[in-house]
Amino acid sequence: MVQKDSLTVVDNLPFVLDEGTLLQRFHLTADSVFVDGALRFAREAAALARPKGLYKVSAVEPAGDDTVLLDGILFTSRILRVNLDGRHRAFPFLATCGREIDDWGRALEDPMELFWADALKELALEAAVQALGAHLAGKYQPGEQAAMNPGSLPDWPIHEQRALFSLFGDGAAAIGVTLNDSFLMSPVKSISGLWFQTDVGFVNCQLCPREECPNRRIPHDPHLFERRYGPPGANGGH
């Protein structure tokens, strides 16, 4: 772990494979002829994987109906601004599967192995997010938290990634994550966002009407935006 000012970089996050979860992600049953090879493949990946993450404590200051300042950097989102009402701090974060497993996966050619590698990178990212959140909770005791991510809702578009990354300084490079001109991250199995304390709960899915989303966590609430965030000027995530 490295701490610079309010930025905490954690690069020794655990990655422990659970066989049941692994087979489920690989779409294999326990009696499949591919199981032994798949498990060997997964162990090879786990041995070199180094999931990483960072977070920082940022001061929150409302700047308008649809804008908010984090450490003096302007962000535009009605939903974000309302979610941060009454909050004096928030926790920008960045987590990644790590360059090590990403580079390893890029060298593969077999379609089945490419599929397995993608699933393993996703699991490494999930491990990074879980461990990073636990580290933050242990250090700051922030209470119940929710998260928002640039690009998950039209109200907080993906180009806001640039402002978010500016909060990390050289921290993103320190964990091997880069942002391209289209505001997409590399490694692809990386996630950025903002954790914040909440008394009412929040999940992006509540405001997303996309029905066929494989990552949906809870149902869409078509009235939530009007009830909690409307009006002025935002698009309600539609």
Both tokens of 60, joined, read 């929150």
| pLDDT value of residue 5 | 58
Going by C-alpha positions, the residue among 41, 40, 23 that lies closest to residue 32 is 23
CATH number of 2-229: 3.40.109.40
**Measured torsion, CA atoms of residues 53, 122, 189, 79, in degrees rounded to the nearest 10:** -80
Q: How distant, in Å, are the alpha carbons of 12, 52, 126 from that of 25? A: 24, 21, 13
**How confident is the model at residue 62, as a pLDDT?**
87
Q: Whole-model pTM?
A: 0.90
State the burial class of residue 25 (Cβ atoms within 10 Å of its Cβ: 0-12, 13-18, 19+): middle
What pLDDT score was predicted for residue 29?
95
Q: How far apart are the first and last CA of the chain?
A: 40
For residue 148, the model assigns a pLDDT of: 94
| Helical axes 35-48 vs 19-26, angle rounded to 10° | 110
Residue 233 DSSP symbol: T
- The per-residue pLDDT for 13 is 85
List the pLDDT tens digit at each of the 238 positions of the chain.
545 557 999 987 889 999 999 999 999 999 999 999 999 999 999 999 999 999 999 999 988 899 999 999 999 999 999 999 999 999 999 999 999 999 999 999 999 999 999 999 999 999 999 999 999 999 998 889 999 999 988 999 999 999 999 999 999 999 999 999 999 999 999 999 999 999 888 888 888 877 777 777 788 778 888 888 887 554 554 4
Rounded CA separation 16/32 (Å) = 22
Phi-psi region of 170 (alpha: psi -120 to 50; beta: other; left: phi over 0): alpha
Q: Where are the domains of the chain?
A: 2-229
